[in-house]
Structure 1
Amino acid sequence: MTTLIPRPALMERIENAFAITPIVTLLGARQCGKTTIARIIAQKTQAPIFDLEDPADDAALSHPMLALSDKRGLIVIDEVQRRPELFPILRVLVDRPDNAARFLLLGSASPHLVRGVSESLAGRTSFVDMQGFSLDEVGSEAWQKLWLRGGFPRSWLADSDAASLEWRKGFIRTFLERDIPQLGISIPAAGLSRFWTMIAHYHGQVWNSSVLARSLGISDKTVTRYLEILEGTFLVRRLPPWYENLGKRLVKSPKVYLRDSGILHALLGIADMDGLLSHPSVGASWEGYALETLLSRFPGAQASFYATYSGAELDLVLDLGTTRYGFEMKLNQAPTLSRSMTIALEDLGLSHLYVVYPGTKTYPLAESITAVPLQSVPEIAE
């Protein structure tokens, strides 16, 4: 469990963000490795770290202006969402003409859940989104292990699949019973747990709040609130639909995914690779896993999916500046060309369409359409 996985791309994004603003807010789910990254950065300059889950550090910031006003260089504040009253004070500090401090804030909830971040620090902070380990970080040869266990460091580094599953079960329980109340959100843990499990079974499908509300016996408003909480704590992703006026009836509701494949498998009761490959949701699991891998490789891309009511669809559309690429995820050892792919290629004006599959060979399916293993997806430059 002491293994350290290098994360150079993430470190570079943080460094680049500090070149723009005096405050960088590193956002990601709890236990995804934010503290480890912050400590590595802090060690270089002996920067102080305030962990607001530590009673002593929390008490030290009970008078934040006194505690921080004479600080210079980098200052790290972990779990900053626990003290939203800090944000206006940080604004005052970094706006001083003689300011020599920089702040690295670590948060486990999006600005939509923590009031005051966007408003107080507008123009003063850069947001860097972080997830667990990616395929690029753990190595392409570990793609099956990463798919099964997910990217949370303690889950991926566990001594066995069984130990990994137990960690993920504990994470789910702790999130429901402790983390949500600490955000000031008062909802029944049992209700959110049932919703989370239901989302696991709807993973990769188009969002329909009414269907889930009827299944759970709650209101549409409550279902939407539950979704916002899981999305705001970086556990669920809403992938928006691609939309332009093509003269076709396009699907306009988002798709919903659990962002970590390991958490998905824990909620579905999948314990090992044999169980995953024989599970009815294995195709949806592959789609979500491949999608998150691709998004981690192209963090600046505008992402969406494409679907028409006549049946044409594409799992992922990435707009990279003036270039647009498409990706279709296929859990198939030898994917072939489909009419849906050729329609999407033309409708979307794609520069190229990649069919991502769990194989070993890259081969063409048609002009501008290529089958490619997930671990071999090319680095596409803007």
Structure 2
Amino acid sequence: MTSPFNFEPLDIPAEYASLRHEVRDFLAEASSQWTGWKIGHSWTGFDREFSRELGARGWIGMTWPKQYGGHERTGLERYVVVEELLAAGAPLGAHWFGDRQSGPLLLRLGTEAQRQRFLPMIARGEAAFCIGLSEPDAGSDLASLRSRATRVDGGWRLNGRKIWTTNAQVCDFMIGLFRTEGSAEVEKHKGLSQFLIDMRSSGIEVRPIVDLTGEAHFNEVMFDNVFVPGDALVGSEGNGWAQASGELAFERSQPDRYMSCFPLLSAALDPICQQGQVDRLAARRIGDAVAELVVLREMSLSIVGQLASGHSPAQEAALLKDLGNSYEQRMPELVRELTDASAVMTRGDRLSELQAFLTQTVPTFSLRGGTREILRGIIAKGLGLR
């Protein structure tokens, strides 16, 4: 039977090894004082100074044209940099969404004025973006959103709510999806449009959602008659569903979808190996974990190649994210069993802090970027089961 999914192999050229070593050398020094708690946040950790440093080194907007502040390097060079940053648990949240999806969206569909204004700021690590998609009353059905943009003189008025918006309380801009015509009950996938929103606009209220760790990187965002100018529209009016769906292929295919817990596995292997002997069962479980990681990496690289070729592998990206979520969510328990560690956090112990943070946080991994149920619906459609 022919597979409905396409995962053509893609290799990283050997000549990129020097770039990998350059990033590793930088991170070896930069991470020397990072706590386990900070490393656990990885790409959701918000550190503007660190993002500006990456921008100065040319590691944000790597593939973009130089005229927009980019560096015209290949997608695989970017992949090398991202892999190393995630492997170290670097705090990337201040530029992550702008570099991964908002910038590429503007590059493809933005006006020339939008590109000239926003892309250089993102590439310098100076503009933090959040994504306004999910809504409180829509459940997992993104297309049933009710937040509305109404045309007025000079622009649009936005009203409604967004939820699960990562780092909205500290971001500068949002790309939000709003209904510009029709209704969710009649033609829910039609009449949607995307807008570029200044988070300092009058009428925006951000309500942080405190999680089990006592922190709040998820937020609910309220829009009360918020005005945005006419040039805030991104792409074509009414084409927001297709645009947002294309964005999600970028979001669901990146290494963060299987590497969020990698620093924990890496940190745990040192004390395990220092014991001198690893029993056969432990060796087998470590081998299984590494083998699964390699498979997920190969899938991710394949999707990167497809995106670079202009394809939109939404089903492949959904499959990778679902498998990656499951892999990541098993990692804290695997490490606990391998190290025989108690469920108590020891302050100052990097492995203990990392283990504690991720144990509390991994349940959210199957929510961000699309719930597991929605992803499996997309996968089922690819298999011809729906």
**Higher relative strand content:** 1
How would you bin the TM-score normalised by the shorter chain? under 0.3
Structure with the bigger RCO (C-alpha within 8 Å, sep 6+) is: 2
**Higher relative helix content:** 2
Report the TM-score when normalising by structure 1. Answer: 0.25
Report the TM-score when normalising by structure 2. Answer: 0.25
